[in-house]
Amino acid sequence: FMRIGEVICLKKEDIDLNKMVLRINKNVYQGVLGTIKNNVSIEDFPIHKELVPFLKSQMLLSGSSEYLFPPVGFYKGVDCSGYKYQWIDKDSVNLFIRRAAERTSVDPKSISSHTFRKSAINFALEQGFPLKEVEYAARINAVTILKHYSIADKEKFQKSYKSKDILKEKKN
């Protein structure tokens, strides 16, 4: 359920392959490294075993950089080191995704980096994960999930959350 800005700035030290967890503790937004969105607590999240070979490979490919996806450059800036990293930006990632979609039957205008987050949230809910758990993993509140994500069976998810107030808040 990671945001693209959280993925872009992952450090190798944020990934513990022995414990199979990664720590989400920062975000790149509009080219600026900052805190995670919504000021939600920093937590360790489980790594799926199928992701491990990719992470190992990317750690090698990133060489001596402390980042899993090294910034594409740096220039004089305002941070404490005197330099500001030039991060891979969301638009570049989306362009890459859309170009890949052009080679498939997927409409390139219908997909972005956020599509993957949205799909993961919806899939978890469709598989019966309690809304509270999805809310925690996605680091957004249930009202936001119900307002901004297309969920086919809201009644089913409402029951898993055990609160009728969520849908009432959504309607207001």
- The rounded mean pLDDT for the chain is 77
| The token pair that represents 162 in the structure block | 């055990």
Looking at residue 170, its pLDDT comes to 42
166: confidence class by pLDDT, cuts 50, 70, 90: very low
Q: Under 8 Å CB-to-CB from 103, ≥6 apart: which residues?
A: none
**Predicted TM-score of the model (pTM):** 0.69
| The token pair that represents 41 in the structure block | 């607590």
CA distance 64 to 129: 39
| The token pair that represents 11 in the structure block | 């450090």
Phi, psi of 5 (to 5 degrees): -65, -25
Given a cut of 60, is residue 50 above it in pLDDT? Answer: yes
171: confidence class by pLDDT, cuts 50, 70, 90: very low
Give the strand pairing for 15-16 and 21-24.
Answer: antiparallel
Phi, psi of 144 (to 5 degrees): -65, -40
Handedness of CA 163, 168, 169, 170 (dihedral sign): positive
CA nearest 5: which of 71, 104, 65?
A: 71
Q: pLDDT (tens digit, 9 = 90+) per residue, 75-95?
A: 544 444 445 667 777 888 888
Looking at residue 87, its pLDDT comes to 74
The amino acid at 79: D
Whole-angstrom CA distances from 134 to 106, 111, 129 are: 27, 22, 7
Q: pLDDT (tens digit, 9 = 90+) per residue, 103-118?
A: 888 888 888 888 888 8
CA nearest 144: which of 124, 118, 116?
A: 118
